[in-house]
Amino acid sequence: MTTPTRPIPFPDDVTEGFWDSIRARRLSIQRCAACRRFNHAPSLTCPACGSEDLGFEAVSGRGTIYSYTVLAEPPGPGFADLVPLVVVIVELTEQPGLLLVADLLGAGPGEVRIGAAVVVDFEEISEDCVLPQFRLTEA
């Protein structure tokens, strides 16, 4: 039996631009060339204007905690060593309502609060899989 591991993303045609940037340790978010709105998670058409002219654009990686939860029990195989796990919804500074779900690294449940400033970090969970996560930072 192999060691249980965490689930990993499988990029498709719509999301591969996002995951390519993450592997390069940059956070890029889908952006509409027509109305200039950022959009996450990536989609085939712009949710704001319906345009199919979408690309990926590097963002600052900075944001604030919009909401969070603390997982006391492992949510699946591969998470046993990670609990309690702080899962955050981050609102990126580039646009109100531009939300991204990630883990909060390097901070326990007692340190997290809504509105706290965070910055993206990149967690290599296997040889070819990097995930965007966040860390607390000074505002």
Question: Contact positions toward Zn ion, by CB under 5 A?
Answer: 32, 34-35, 46, 48-49, 51
Please report how close the Cβ of residue 87 comes to Zn ion at its closest, in angstroms. 29
Please report how close the Cβ of residue 57 comes to Zn ion at its closest, in angstroms. 13
Q: For residues 34 and 80, which CB has a smaller minimum distance to Zn ion in the complex?
A: 34
Q: For residues 21 and 39, which CB has a smaller minimum distance to Zn ion in the complex?
A: 39
- Per DSSP, the three-state class of 21 is helix
- Cβ atoms of residues 37 and 55 within 8 Å: no
Q: For residues 49 and 83, which CB has a smaller minimum distance to Zn ion in the complex?
A: 49
Q: For residues 49 and 114, which CB has a smaller minimum distance to Zn ion in the complex?
A: 49
Please report how close the Cβ of residue 95 comes to Zn ion at its closest, in angstroms. 12
Q: Which residues touch 49 (CB under 8 Å, ≥6 apart)?
A: 32, 34, 35, 37
Which parts of the chain fold into alpha helices (H)? 16-23
Please report how close the Cβ of residue 45 comes to Zn ion at its closest, in angstroms. 8
14: its two tokens = 């719509």
| Unique residue bearing structure tokens 């498709």 | 12
Spatial separation of the C-alpha atoms in residues 130 and 48, rounded to whole Å:
29
